[in-house]
Structure 1
Amino acid sequence: MMTLLRNTSLPFVAAILLSSCASYNLQKADQAYDLMQYPRAERFYGKVLRHHEMRPARLRLADACRRHSDLVSAEKHYALADAAHHITGDTALNYGEVLMGNGKPEVAAELFLRVLHETPENGRALDLYASTQSYGSFFADSGRFIVNRLNIPGISTAFSAVPYRKGLLIAGEKKVASLTANPWNGMSFLDLYYSEKKTVVTWTEAQPLSGLVNGAFHEGPAVLSPDGRHLYFTRSNYVKRKLRKDEGNTSHLMLFRATQDSTGRWTDLRAFAYNSEYWSTGHAALSLDGKMLYFASDRPGGLGGTDIWRCRDNGTGWSEPENLGSTVNTAGNELFPMINGSSLYFSSTAHENMGGLDIFETHEQEGRWSDPMNMNAPINTPHDDFSMVLDSTTEGGYLSSNRDSLDQVYVFWANKPIFYVEVRCSMIPACSFRTCR
């Protein structure tokens, strides 16, 4: 009898241990997710779900994968959750965006229609559904540009390139030891680098920008003033190597300006007047005369996630931020503005979109913005495409994209058409050459 009791108690003890282990892993997963440590959260949610199917954990795992740009895994986990019970609301829109990013607009359309059935006036769902219906048109003229990835040694990721000296100023990350890594993705924190051109796609090893710009946390992207004396750059909110956070434990981004001294070092850091510890401000762009500053922010008064704003130089500083309005901004996210004359290039998760962030162009005339035009393939892809800057010396420029997994800088130029001319030749007996007519 004692042996029987011992044997029957084994499954019971195992169940207790398994439950305790699952509870521990779930706690660790939730902590990592709340701290935006998405790779770590993925590992712990995976451990939980090997033994217990928990819908909240499954959805959080899907979202962690989405935020970490692992769209294949995100689709898998969203699909498992949706099969058990239909996903609705913003979660369904996120799932649909993942499907768009994986090149499945027809399946994504079903999710967007599901949301529109519940909330017919949902602006984000309307834009996303419209994108699925015009998906083929994004590829109609995909041969008009040639796009090639730049090979920039010394950094693992690179984005937001701007012409600087004889090369490019870029934001980038390196592979580092785990103790100093950014918990978001396991890489270093962003720094600003400089690289010079060797060939069209091959560049010198990236070197950190000299001076006081690079610090303990994120620095980048950046833009130069027209005279090259000032650098406006995005930076984490930190003081003396310590992040500053709001009541929700979120550290927001801020804009800073640096000035180049006589030795070429960037010093004299000054904070933008409209930074806040309660919302993010970054992704600066300047008009050609330097009198207008554009930026992205999720500050109050916007139309959705992050919007494009601008300030005017009034002689004593920057004017109050002005939202560019509903023609440009949406219920989604608008980011990475770039100004070229009267044209504004920016990226958005909304409007009519191929998936992820797409690059759009709009023009200002008499204070009004034209309807944003999708730049289409091959500038845009179903992945994140952003930070387009034109090169005044070529019929092209640079853009950033994670189309090949990690964020990288790409060069593009116009693909000039080749004209084929029918040529007829006749032999002239008295001569040793051919003449064409």
Structure 2
Amino acid sequence: MKLTWTILTALCFSTSLQMTAVITTFGQETVFSIMKSDNRKASELFASKRYRQAARLYESMADRAPNSKYYLALARAHYYLHEPVEASTWYEKYLTIESELPANDVLLYAEALASQKKYDQAVNYYKQYEKLSDNDPMVMKKIWQIKNRNYLLEDSLHYTIKRLDCNKPSADIAAVPYENGFVFLSNRARPSVIKNVDEGNSPFFRWYQSTMKTDSTGIIVHYGEPVSFFEKLQARYQLGPVSFFDNERQMAFIASNADHQLKGKRPLQLFFAVKGPDGWQFSRAFDFNGANYSITSVTVREDGKVLYLSSDMGGGQGGLDLYQSTFDGKAWSKPKNLGNEINTVGDEAFPSISGNSLSFSSNGLPGLGGFDVFSVMMSDRAIGEVQNMGYPVNTNFDDFALSLNADRSKGYLTSNRNGGDDIYEVTIDLQTYPFTIAGVLKYKEENWRESETLTVYPLAELELIDNLKGTVVARAVSDAKGEFNLTIPYFSQYRIKVTGSTDGDQAIVSLDLGKTRYGENRFELVVVKNSFKKDY
């Protein structure tokens, strides 16, 4: 994710065409004045998040005049370029000269070490930072997660991760399900008379579509060769992630704005398009695009009433934060920061909503190192508990841009676990929430204990109780045939309280839910008549 993340998270982009070479002569300038000028330029580049160019200048100065301040700047630049090996190398060089790191760099060094699976060293530096930060609770969680990382491996047998053969040596990222395949971003080279490149001399990102291919039996063989998607809307500069909604009749997308430029840089902004008889057509720009900040990724709920975006707009927790905006039928509301339950001083990006479950990537939340994928249940009233998706979705490398289908059983992931940014197909057989169980309620009479005879229990009230919270989270009533439907809102330990409709008798039935996906989600609940008691 080295180049990719720099492009997508940078505040804006360089937009010059690589068509000329500039030759500069220094005349009577001294080496000292040249280095002073380079240092100023490097500082300006770093401040504007153009880390690659800044690193080149700092490295040139370090070669000419070794200095710990250049080593520190290089370590920081490579960290923000998401190159942990290089960042660690420069931190190590810095520590050969200086006795200790600045407080914030202690944290960055710990993160870089964790990304290389050097967990013992990472914990040592996390502990140093913990003392310097007055017991930062997030760092305490990171230490706990690393020491208990086996918990993130327990569901690994229920995931299948497969690297797709349509990847190229270029960066292929942010695939989302579309029609019989997916749409994704790539900066693979394209035939062109004029070479459009970014500040790293890489081609701009463009959209591509790949379709599943099947054999005569209907079994999927592979994904077809990618073709350009929405060619007539291909922007002049960078394109970003897309999100389809309204049965794939509408889409939200990210692109650099050709009209907004500040000091040679262009922000990423949010736009919308609709699909008509003649294909996709641009419809509108997001009302809260800005010239001084970027919106780097977006997801829209299927009904088109809520979207989540990632942005470095002011007022956030730090870095890229996730925001929510709602649509009232005419306009989108001002984005609202999701707060520190989700956002951290690091980066949160690539949101993807399916049902009520929001997936996103973060390098600030506790994980296995680098960017990990997390999920959280979203409702109009509250935000659920953030969950790390665990291995093999997450590794110590950068894993991001997970996008799943409606029932969260299949989708796509981007990861650099094999060196470059590639797209992986993800298949999940874990039970997803919320889901509904159906079944029949029956009972035995007290004197039938030795009998297998069961009687349908009609018109009884069922209350689903969370054992951990001790609260009722769902209710249902059995019909005349004892049939019932009960919605399970989230994974937990549950019991069901059964109350008779005529005499008010009550009983408790345990409900054991595993993590794996159920077939038809059909249960037979049986209570014994002599177990009925009052006031559970």
Q: Same fold (TM over 0.5)?
A: yes
The 1:188–1:322 alpha-carbon spacing in structure 2 relative to 1, beyond 3 Å, is same
Residue of structure 2 equivalent to 1:277: 291
How far 1:269 moved relative to its partner?
Answer: 4.5
Residue 197 of structure 1 pairs with residue 197 of structure 2: no
Q: Report if aligned partners of 1:26, 1:45 keep a CA contact under 8 Å in 2.
A: yes
The correspondence for 2:251, drawn from 231, 234, 237, is 231
Residue range with higher mean Cα deviation, 77-86 or 99-108: 77-86
Q: Which of 378, 387, 404 is the equivalent residue of 1:390?
A: 404
Contact kept, 8 Å, 2:176 with 2:411, in 1: the verdict is no
Q: Secondary structure at the match of 1:180?
A: coil
Out of 375, 386, 398, the position equivalent to 1:361 is 375
1:83 to 70, 80, 96: 96
Counterpart in the other structure of 1:320: 334
**TM-aligned CA distance change 1:114 to 1:88, over 3 Å:** farther
1:255 counterpart residue number: 270
Q: Distance in 1 between matches of 2:170 and 2:68?
A: 35
Q: Which residue of 1 aligns with 2:15?
A: none
Verify: 1:166 aligned to 2:183, yes or no. no
115-124 vs 399-408, which moves further: 115-124
Q: Distance in 2 between matches of 1:350 and 1:409?
A: 23
Q: 1:180 aligns with which of 192, 196, 199?
A: 196
Structure 2 counterpart of 1:220: 240
- What's the CA shift for 1:76? 0.8
In structure 1, the partner of 2:126 is 112
Residue type of the alignment partner of 1:380: N
Tell me, in whole angstroms, the C-alpha distance in 1 between the residues paired with 2:141 and 2:167.
39
Report SS of the residue matched to 2:203.
coil
Alpha-carbon displacement from aligned partner over 1:235-289 (angstroms, at most 9, x marks no partner): 12322xxx6127xx7643211112233222x332521011112222242112232
Give the letter aligned to residue 226 of structure 1. Answer: D
* CA 1:287–1:67: 2 relative to 1, 3 Å: same
Alignment RMSD: 3.0
The Cα of 1:375 is off from its aligned counterpart by 0.6
Separation in 2, partners of 1:143, 1:295:
32
SS at match of 2:73: helix
TM-score scaled by structure 2?
A: 0.67
Larger mean CA deviation between 135-144 and 305-314 belongs to: 135-144
Partner of 2:482: none
1:385-431 alpha-carbon deviations (Å, 9 max, x no partner): 111122358832211112222221111224799xxxxxxxxxxxxxx
Q: How many angstroms does 1:114 deviate by? A: 1.6
Post-superposition Cα deviations, 1:42-70, rounded to whole Å, max 9, x if no partner, equal 44433332342212211222223223333
Separation of aligned partners in 2, 1:78 and 1:403: 23
**Which position in structure 1 is the counterpart of 2:72?**
59
Instruction: Identify if the C-alpha distance between structure 1 residues 395 and 25 changes in structure 2 by more than 3 Å, giving closer, same or farther.
Output: same
Q: 2:467 — aligned with what?
A: none
Q: Distance in 1 between matches of 2:230 and 2:167?
A: 18
In structure 2, what is the equivalent of residue 74 of structure 1?
Answer: 87
Greater Cα shift, 44-53 or 85-94:
44-53
Q: Distance in 2 between matches of 1:325 and 1:35?
A: 25
CA apart distance, 1:294? 1.3
| TM-score computed with the length of structure 1 as normaliser | 0.81
Which residues of structure 1 form unaligned runs of 5+?
1-15, 418-437
Matched to 1:207, the amino acid is V
Q: Residues 319-375 of structure 1, C-alpha deviation per residue, up to 9 Å, x if partnerless?
A: 232232332222322211111212111111122211121111111356122221111
Moved more, 62-71 or 169-178: 169-178
The aligned counterpart of 1:45 is 58
Q: Is the 8 A contact 1:160 1:399 kept in 2?
A: yes
Between the aligned partners of 1:53 and 1:61, the Cα distance in structure 2 is 12
C-alpha displacement of 1:20: 7.2
% identical equivalent positions: 27
Cα shift at 1:227: 2.9
* Cα distance change, pair 180–64 in 1 and its aligned pair in 2 (3 A): farther
Deviation at 1:170, TM superposition (A): 0.6
Conserved? CA contact 1:88–1:115, under 8 Å: no
CA, structure 1 residues 319+46, in 2 after alignment: closer, same or farther (shift >3 Å)?
A: closer
Alignment of 1:336-415 (within 5 A): 336-365=350-379, 367-392=381-406, 395-414=409-428
- Which structure 2 residue ranges, 5 or more long, are not aligned? 1-28, 215-219, 431-515, 517-536
Residues 363/153 of structure 1: CA separation in 2 closer, same or farther (3 Å cut)? closer
Aligned residue in 1 for 2:495: none
The amino acid of 1:272's aligned partner reads: F
**For 1:209, which of 229, 243, 249 is the aligned residue?**
229
Structure number with greater Rg is 2
Q: 1:7 is matched with which residue?
A: none
Instruction: After superposing the two structures, state which structure 1 stretch, 17-26 or 401-410, moved more.
Output: 17-26
Q: Secondary structure at the match of 1:61?
A: helix
The equivalent of 1:424 in structure 2 is none
What's the offset of the Cα at 1:17? 8.0
Query: Is the 2:138–2:366 contact (alpha carbons within 8 Å) kept by the matching residues of 1?
Result: no
Q: Note if contact 2:45-2:51 (Cα within 8 Å) is conserved in structure 1.
A: yes
1:8-47 deviation digits (Å, cap 9, x = unpaired): xxxxxxxx98767766765665565456554444444333
CA contact (8 A) 1:151 1:203 kept: yes
- Higher helix fraction: Structure 1 or Structure 2? 1
Counterpart position of 1:131: 145
Deviations 1:276-311 (A, max 9, x none): 122222421122322111111222332332222212
